[in-house]
Amino acid sequence: MEVITTLTLTFAPEDDGPLVTASFRDPDGGGIMSGVTDPILLAVNSAYVLTVAFSSELGETEDITEEIAEECEEHQVFVFGTAVSGPASDNPGALVVHAYADLESALGGNEIGEDLPVGLTNSILTNESGSGVFTVMLRHLPELNGVPQKVPDLAMAFARGESLAGAPDANVGFDLTVQ
């Protein structure tokens, strides 16, 4: 398992406005130094396509997003927090609404079970002005005793407070402002 040192969020406005990028960087991969996150600033009443990328910069830079795409039936990105409403976060009146915009089959997977979301590409709609937390968690969900741990409605189970199988590969909270 690789150590994720960098998580990059790219918000592409659907109205062709400027890209919004925010990153988390932990240069020593969980060592002595703390990680640093960029704030996210989005426009109110706007639609964005969010892409999520993971890399390791310990030694030679490695794009871990490619590996996640290849192993998409064992990974899912969850987007939640005080600022978010969506499959993994039931917050009526949240600043943003999240929806998955990719499926395993689009990434070359889906050999086992249903065609489930991965979360490397997402839809984000901003509702109103304010500030809150926008958290991105990558969960590794390998089969256990030949049984898939990634199942339908996993994000909704998380929103209900149920425990998730597998283990987090990354879990980062960003400060989000919508104005």
One digit per residue, pLDDT tens: the chain, 179 residues?
Answer: 578 999 999 999 999 899 999 999 998 776 666 789 999 999 999 999 999 999 998 888 899 999 999 999 999 999 999 999 999 999 988 999 999 999 999 998 777 778 999 999 999 999 999 999 999 999 999 988 888 899 999 999 999 999 999 999 999 999 999 99
In 3-state terms, what secondary structure has residue 106? helix
Query: In this predicted structure, what is the pLDDT of residue 32?
Result: 67
Stated pTM of the model: 0.94
d(C-alpha 14, C-alpha 40), whole Å: 17
- The residues, ordered by sequence, that sit 6+ positions from 83 with a Cβ below 8 Å of its Cβ are 91, 94, 95, 96, 130, 131, 132, 133, 134, 176, 178
Nearest Cα to Cα of residue 124 among 76, 176, 157, 86: 86
Query: In this predicted structure, what is the pLDDT of residue 60?
Result: 86
d(C-alpha 149, C-alpha 135), whole Å: 22
Dihedral sign for Cα 43, 173, 136, 2, please.
positive
Query: In this predicted structure, what is the pLDDT of residue 102?
Result: 97
Q: Is there a contact between 114 and 76 (Cβ–Cβ < 8 Å)?
A: no
Query: In this predicted structure, what is the pLDDT of residue 27?
Result: 81
Query: In this predicted structure, what is the pLDDT of residue 41?
Result: 98
Nearest Cα to Cα of residue 120 among 67, 77, 158: 77
